[in-house]
Structure 1
Amino acid sequence: MQLLSLLFSPIKEFWKKGDVILLGLCLATSTFGLALIFSATQYQNAPGQILNRSVVVQAIAIVLGVIAYVLLTFVDFQLFTEKRWKLMLFGSIALLLMILTPWGVERYGNRNWIQIPHFPMMLQPNEIVKIPFILILALLIIKIQDRGYSISSIPSVMQIGGFTVFTLGLIAAICGDMGTCCVYIMIFAFMAWTAGVKLRWFVLVGGGAVLAVVIFWLFFLPETRFWTDYRIMRFRVVFDHSLDPSNYGFQQTRSVLAIGSGKLFGQGYLKGIQTHASNSSALPVRDSDLIFAVCGEELGMVGCMALLLLLSGIVLRCIWVGRHASSPFNAYVCMGMAGMLLSQITFNVGMCLYVLPVMGLTLPFVSSGGSSIITLFAAMGIVSSVKARPMPSWLRDRSKV
């Protein structure tokens, strides 16, 4: 009996203090995603085979993710970050540099993965590094504010912007993944805006970045390469869908056709024509980047709306927890997590609907990817740890005045 009490005591404690609502939303969304992955990988199965390896890995990752969520709920991340930020920073750098070793794997034109020998799943360092990036950036912001400096002053913006640019530069140089860089930029924007950085800085920096990119392409790329550069082509096909439908616009053309064919209620689960095809007309990368198109084809607009409602619930829950956080650090962390999810959802769904360029970004909690799922549950576990440390009653009373 005493052993059972020791085993169930942390679960009872989690049930009292942890964010059970957020866990429920994450589990519902990831289960929805698992069902879509099961359908999207049926074409790979051998005769008589029921479960694809991707489904098994995803299911195991969800279980491990839930365990990580519960365990991280009991960690005080403000104290941990204050004491271990150097270890987190150098650990992040080391993890990214591992991509340059023989363990690094290139897929879809980006070198984003690590395949450790005899390890059952590949790791995505740039996904894992999002967590320490958010924690360290939140710590940097409160250190600036604790010293009495305005967060919108030039030195303050240079500090938080410099850390962000350093991280982006490292990812761009090692992975060449501009889509992931966009997510980090949105995380920074959410956290900086929450901290009180003035709008003029976003206009100035955003406008300067766009101008710098235009100048680079106009003056440093050969004239013949400018309009045909693959990064430019990804934007051009968004504005003109007929420009290159068999190459740069192929993924999005197939995605729009799949979503459109689903209409209101879809073709039926496990009955999607493009989802289960194995010829040239099949939906590409259907279990990861274009899994939203699988949902649209098989479950229709109703299924897509249900999925988006679940994802929106997770984002809104992060924001709610942040608004009731016990400290500014915890509030910034929650907003960073919300920004990470919202930007990734927007970019992925926009890509599937052919209103945004291909960025190679997956749909959170839905697309296949073991390390991604575990990282997402861990990130939400940090939000749960914020909820588990509520504002003291005397501060809550004063905040309502």
Structure 2
Amino acid sequence: MWNRLKAILADFIQQADLVLLGLCCAATLYGMVLIASATRYMDTSGMSGMIRYVGVQGAAMLLGLCAYVFMSMIDVEIVLKKWKWVLAFNIVFIGLLVTPLGVGGATTGNQAWLKIPGIPFQIGPAEIVKITFTLLLAKQLEWLREEKRDLKSFPAAAMVAGHTLLLMGYYVVISGDMGNALTFFFIFLCMAFAAGFALRWFALLFAGLGGGIAFVLLLDIVPASMDYMLNRFRVLFDHSYDSLGVGWQQSRSLLAIGSGGIFGQGYMQGTQTQSSESYSLPYRWTDFIFSVCGEELGLIGCLAVIALLTAIIIRVLLVARNAQVPLHCYVCVGMAAMLIYQTVINIGMCLFVMPTIGVTLPFFSYGGSSLLTLYAAMGVVSGIKKRSPVTRRPGRLLG
């Protein structure tokens, strides 16, 4: 058994994407440094809260490394031969949110988390379903190509869009979490573009969405449950609008980042980061970890965060570009889309140019299930990279 394990590890070291793994580890360790500072204020000793959060993140990283190795060995083409089981998993796993295991998230207040006894962190089904959804969508796109369907036709576009919108609707109805639901939508957009869908369908989609929103606003028929969400967009265009309510979190975030200047106030020296007052930076170890970086490490620290995440995304897209099997290309594009969406939304949220929708910063924000699934997703990309290429086929990224 020991010899078998050594052989597996040797094969992993020789063929897996160690550059991608190294970038992920660097981002995670950087994030843990920020989490340590962001949680130091929690008690007078400045240690118990910090040790707890950093410890959980460290344990998630170790599990993530195991997930990366394991997923690197998985052939997604074999897994997707059982695509019906993957689809059933998505439906059932999200459905667990309505069971006694479902709980409200600490940062979003939505019913979007599972608390499973014996696991030290809550599990967000959306985090895991992002991976399985990406695999299913890639399988669907490959099937359309193999069936010689015209990917520029309306039926093909409607089939893939329908799959996405049904999953989004199912998830939102159960969880109320629009932030993660939009991740599915962005993954769909990027994968459909990579597959070669006609640009007119994207234009029609956005025109329809824009028209629908305008119609609702003009007739003033916004449901009360959605009014708060719309206010999150209104405040982006007028920062003085409800500055003590819906705009308060982002106002504190912008103040923290601005006060850091180029080099920051110093690690563990941030005025808001180290304050326990109620008016200080909220959710500083999750949603607003980038603001902690800006306050304590300044512009230089923020640029390092952006550089690491950009390098990870570029690495994933390079694997997509070099893939010679359409399925592999689509999967990698979907994984990159997931990272791009979360990065842009979270940093934009901290800079007060995107709405607050509870999306965390990949690899940096605290969250055991999020970190674990990110490593699993990157493990899928690593497994694709090590697979021997076969017949080269056309596509926007495949040439």
TM-score over 0.5 for the alignment? yes
Paired residue type of 1:125: P
Task: Map 1:195-344; keep pairs closer than 5 Å.
Answer: 195-219=195-219, 221=221, 229-344=227-342
Paired residue type of 1:174: I
Asked if 2 retains the 8 angstrom alpha-carbon contact of 1:326 and 1:386, the reply is no
What is the alpha-carbon distance in structure 2 between the residues aligned to residue 222 and residue 79 of structure 1? 46
- Corresponding residue of 1:146: 146
Asked if 2 retains the 8 angstrom alpha-carbon contact of 1:341 and 1:364, the reply is yes
Paired residue type of 2:221: L
Paired residue type of 1:154: F
Identity of aligned residues (%): 43
- Corresponding residue of 2:101: 103
What is the alpha-carbon distance in structure 1 between the residues aligned to residue 58 and residue 262 of structure 2? 29
- Corresponding residue of 1:388: 386
Unaligned runs of 5+ in 1: none
What is the alpha-carbon distance in structure 1 between the residues aligned to residue 8 and residue 126 of structure 2? 31
- Corresponding residue of 1:87: 85
What is the alpha-carbon distance in structure 1 between the residues aligned to residue 221 and residue 131 of structure 2? 35
Q: State the shift of 1:210 in Å.
A: 1.9
- Corresponding residue of 2:155: 155
Paired residue type of 2:66: I
Asked if 1 retains the 8 angstrom alpha-carbon contact of 2:102 and 2:111, the reply is yes
- Corresponding residue of 1:74: 73
Q: State the shift of 1:222 in Å.
A: 6.5
Paired residue type of 1:165: L
> Runs of 4+ in structure 1 displaced over 4 angstroms?
none
Length-normalised TM-score, structure 1: 0.94
Paired residue type of 1:236: R
> What secondary structure is seen at the aligned counterpart in 2 of 1:208?
helix
In the TM superposition, what whole-angstrom CA distance separates every residue of 1:1-38 from its partner, at most 9, and x where no partner exists?
xx653332211111111000000000000111111111
Larger mean CA deviation between 270-279 and 212-221 belongs to: 212-221
> What secondary structure is seen at the aligned counterpart in 1 of 2:363?
coil
Q: State the shift of 1:395 in Å.
A: 5.8
> What secondary structure is seen at the aligned counterpart in 2 of 1:275?
coil
Paired residue type of 1:113: W
Paired residue type of 1:216: V
- Corresponding residue of 2:29: 31
Asked if 1 retains the 8 angstrom alpha-carbon contact of 2:112 and 2:125, the reply is yes
Matched, 1:189 2:189: yes
Question: Residues 324 and 390 of structure 1: is their aligned pair in 2 closer, same or farther, counting only changes over 3 Å?
Answer: farther
Question: Residues 55 and 45 of structure 1: is their aligned pair in 2 closer, same or farther, counting only changes over 3 Å?
Answer: farther
Matched, 1:58 2:60: no
Q: State the shift of 1:46 in Å.
A: 5.1
Asked if 1 retains the 8 angstrom alpha-carbon contact of 2:67 and 2:376, the reply is yes
Aligned residue pairs, count: 393
Asked if 1 retains the 8 angstrom alpha-carbon contact of 2:264 and 2:295, the reply is yes
- Corresponding residue of 2:372: 374
What is the alpha-carbon distance in structure 1 between the residues aligned to residue 325 and residue 170 of structure 2? 30
What is the alpha-carbon distance in structure 2 between the residues aligned to residue 48 and residue 212 of structure 1? 50
Asked if 2 retains the 8 angstrom alpha-carbon contact of 1:324 and 1:390, the reply is no
What is the alpha-carbon distance in structure 1 between the residues aligned to residue 47 and residue 14 of structure 2? 42
Paired residue type of 2:67: A
In the TM superposition, what whole-angstrom CA distance separates every residue of 1:357-379 from its partner, at most 9, and x where no partner exists?
11110000110000000000000
Asked if 1 retains the 8 angstrom alpha-carbon contact of 2:20 and 2:315, the reply is yes
Unaligned runs of 5+ in 2: none
In the TM superposition, what whole-angstrom CA distance separates every residue of 1:157-204 from its partner, at most 9, and x where no partner exists?
111111001111111111111111221111001100000011111110
What is the alpha-carbon distance in structure 2 between the residues aligned to residue 218 and residue 271 of structure 1? 48
Asked if 2 retains the 8 angstrom alpha-carbon contact of 1:325 and 1:390, the reply is no
